[in-house]
Amino acid sequence: MLENIIEPLLGWYEKNHRDLPWRAHRDPYHIWVSEIMLQQTRVEAVKPFFERFTSTLPTVKDLAEYPQEKLLKLWEGLGYYNRVKNMQKAAVILCEQYDGVLPADYEALKSLPGIGNYTAGAIASIAYEIPVPAVDGNVLRVLARIRMDDGDIMKQSVRSRVEKDLLAIMPKGRSGAFNQALMELGAIVCVPNGAPLCEKCPVKEECLARKTGTIEAYPVKEKKTRRRIEERTVLLILDGRHVAVRKRPEQGLLAGLYEFPNTEGRLTEDQVLSSVEERGLMPLQILPLPDAKHIFSHVEWHMTGYVVKIAEPETAFDRELIFVETQEAQEHYPMPAAFAAYASYMDLRLGQEKYQDKK
């Protein structure tokens, strides 16, 4: 039955695919960069980051040799920073073992840091027309609905079965287009959340869920564990034109990035005063800021913030604090978007915001 979707799907994709910058040609490096960026990030959000990344680092060699702190700054706003750290590790291996070129070998691609079955399949099929599947969440949803598949798509066994079934029908010489067509169908037609555009679907006649009126029942997906909530207090410690930042540990959440000083719990103004004085600083004024929230994959930060204006910081006991000018922080200190709500009070814009025109 699956064979019946190939021709209508390819015909539809030829006429209806989106014009995306990484589809302009089959450069394996560009495909790799785009696929890593698109993990956990929307297409429209990725576009400006992709263009800046590939113009700053046009080759694998450039990526391998780029200073990591500048690399994290370039990635700022995309989140999940281990993605780009693994890319750089892979780039070093590619330069050492493959002359700086992504190999035309599915298994070799999978051996690189940060590249799994899906990303290897996308690079191999789109760049090199190797007939292997590229199964992401969009593809799993499309196939689950077409076949009324009751398997939980969060399970590796289900993903492996889908990969095996697609491998058996992969059209030789057109595997890249076929994989992209399946992903595109899931992205713009067979969408989640009970709102698929079934009448626009090129394979609707093959879809069992549509025929039986059970579209909303698919795909089957185990509910995620509820996120842990953490209360935090963020301090904007200001010395005239300077703001205090510190570097996070090299392991754990947001590893190696910079942040505003913050602490667990929801501090009162008196507690903030004591906390700042314990750092060897002299507070002149403390102003409360509105609450903010940031959602990570496994935890939510519920934050309260304060502006703390201080006298000269020479007496600071806290040697982790670095006082930098706002513009310097903007250009040289990679900071996660978790702090964007508070950074805006100093006209410091993080991540995507720094690429938007000011109102």
For 215, the 3-state DSSP assignment is helix
Tell me the DSSP string of 240-260: TTEEEEEEPPSSSTTTT-EE-
Contact yes or no for 121/110 (Cβ under 8 A)? no
Which strand (E) or helix (H) includes residue 229? strand 228-239
DSSP-based three-state secondary structure for 114? coil
CA–centroid distance for 6 within its chain: 30
- CA gap 50, 194 in Å, rounded: 30
DSSP state of 221: -
Closest CA to 32 of 76, 81, 86: 86
| Residues forming the active site | 35
Half-sphere exposure of 320 (CA within 13 A, CB side): 11
Q: Which of 19, 27, 26 is nearest to 43 (CA)?
A: 19
